[in-house]
Amino acid sequence: MFKIEDILRGKDFISIHDFSKEEIEYMLKVGAEIKRMQKQGIPHPCLAGKTLGMIFQKSSTRTRIAFEVGMYQLGGHALFLSPRDIQIGRGETIKDTALVLSRMLDGIMIRTFDHDEVLELAHWASIPIINGLTDLLHPTQVIGDLMTIKEHKGELKGLKLAFIGDGNNVAHSLLFGGAKVGMDVVIASPGGFEPDAKILAVAQKDATETGATLAVVKDPEEAAADADVVYTDVWASMGQEDQAPEKEQQFLAYQVNSRLLSLAKKDAIVLHCLPAKRGKEITDEVMDGPQSVVFDEAENRLHAHKAIMALTM
């Protein structure tokens, strides 16, 4: 088994902004190597005997399966912890939960609504905390995205990624990820649904170091023009289901369809973090079309998450 450097051992994985360009590139390298070994049937139990606690305040398909299967393939064990399974769902403080779990586990993955809960958990825990998604950020998703783009494009620096839709947690992490690796990112959102201005400002500072350009526009056609990657997500994120009918009206012009895709480069690839509302933010024709790498992207969540765990735990 190849040797994993200890440069990130014990470190929390909360935001892509927290890591250097070199550290992110190393994550992608480890993810690619782990994927190669998995495909070739080469055992890689680098976390043998270790245990990951998975706190899920939000339901999940890809995140849960990627972490649970990934931990198994790395030789360790994962425990699924819903609010009904632990006392945090009955009022135990995050501080006490962190202090107790730190004495029994080797790492914690948390998927929740409030980003401050992850920060508080990390403050009190003495073991690595992995952010599996909050309403503010979705960093583990974007490591898988960068891995997918690199597989299909061979590089990241200098590419243009157009994100079409709500300026949500995925958009925020794409801004951070693009800025760190030198990839241009354009977010196209209707007025009132742009990414958080503070996130954009922080990402802009990172971008000055790598030469990436970041922009937020209202026109989806402007964003898609000459793009190497076209990315979309559901218009109403988890917990916003009551807003879906209203958002559908406001986002009608933001559908990724064959007409919009035709504005991108001929060899552009299409990404979607899933789950998809087919016929809403993306058409079947595009999602199932030859430029779609959506299911490569979904698979790479497994390999990317394994890399994150192997490096931090």
Neighbours of 58 (CB within 10 A): 16
SS3 25: helix
- Of the candidates 115, 138, 303, 305, the residue annotated as catalytic is 138
- Of the candidates 17, 115, 272, 301, the residue annotated as catalytic is 301
Q: Tell me which H or E stretch contains 172.
A: helix 169-181
Query: In the annotation, is 62 catalytic?
Result: no
Query: In the annotation, is 46 catalytic?
Result: no
Residues near 275 by beta carbon (within 8 Å), at least 6 away in sequence: 61, 234
C-alpha dihedral (235, 176, 266, 249), degrees to nearest 10: 20
Q: For residues 113 and 135, is the Cβ–Cβ distance under 8 A?
A: yes
How far apart CA 146 and CA 101 sit, in angstroms, is: 31
Query: In the annotation, is 301 catalytic?
Result: yes
Q: For residues 293 and 161, is the Cβ–Cβ distance under 8 A?
A: no
Q: For residues 309 and 6, is the Cβ–Cβ distance under 8 A?
A: no
pLDDT tens digit sequence for 209-268: 999 999 999 999 999 999 999 999 999 876 677 777 888 899 999 999 999 999 999 999
Query: In the annotation, is 233 catalytic?
Result: yes
- Of the candidates 44, 62, 111, 172, the residue annotated as catalytic is 111
Q: What is the pLDDT along the chain (313 residues), one digit of tens a residue?
A: 678 999 999 999 999 999 999 999 999 999 999 999 999 999 999 999 999 999 999 888 999 999 999 999 999 999 999 888 888 767 899 999 999 999 999 999 999 999 999 999 999 999 999 999 999 999 999 999 999 999 999 999 999 999 999 999 999 999 999 999 999 999 999 999 999 999 999 999 999 999 999 999 999 999 999 999 999 999 987 667 777 788 889 999 999 999 999 999 999 999 999 999 999 999 999 999 999 999 999 999 999 999 999 999 9
Instruction: Select from 247, 225, 230 the least CA-distant residue to 286.
Output: 230
Q: What is the pLDDT of residue 198?
A: 98
Q: What are phi and psi of 235, to 5 degrees?
A: -75, -30
Strands 184-188, 107-111: pairing is unpaired
How far apart CA 40 and CA 298 sit, in angstroms, is: 19
The CATH number of 140-298 is 3.40.50.1370
Give the bridge partners for 107, in sequence order: 52
Q: What is the pLDDT of residue 175?
A: 98
- Of the candidates 46, 73, 115, 141, the residue annotated as catalytic is 141
Q: Tell me which H or E stretch contains 221.
A: helix 220-224
Q: What is the pLDDT of residue 88?
A: 79
Domain span(s) for CATH 3.40.50.1370 in the chain: 16-137+300-312, 140-298
The pTM for the full model equals 0.96
pLDDT tens digit sequence for 81-95: 988 888 876 789 999
- Of the candidates 12, 145, 184, 233, the residue annotated as catalytic is 233
Query: In the annotation, is 278 catalytic?
Result: no
Q: For residues 175 and 194, is the Cβ–Cβ distance under 8 A?
A: no
How far apart CA 46 and CA 230 sit, in angstroms, is: 35
> To which CATH superfamily is domain 16-137+300-312 assigned?
Aspartate/ornithine carbamoyltransferase (3.40.50.1370)
Residues near 129 by beta carbon (within 8 Å), at least 6 away in sequence: 12, 13, 14, 107, 108, 109, 110, 118, 121, 122
How far apart CA 37 and CA 245 sit, in angstroms, is: 45
Tell whether the torsion through CA atoms of 203, 186, 116 and 58 is positive or negative. Answer: negative
- Of the candidates 44, 106, 184, 273, the residue annotated as catalytic is 273
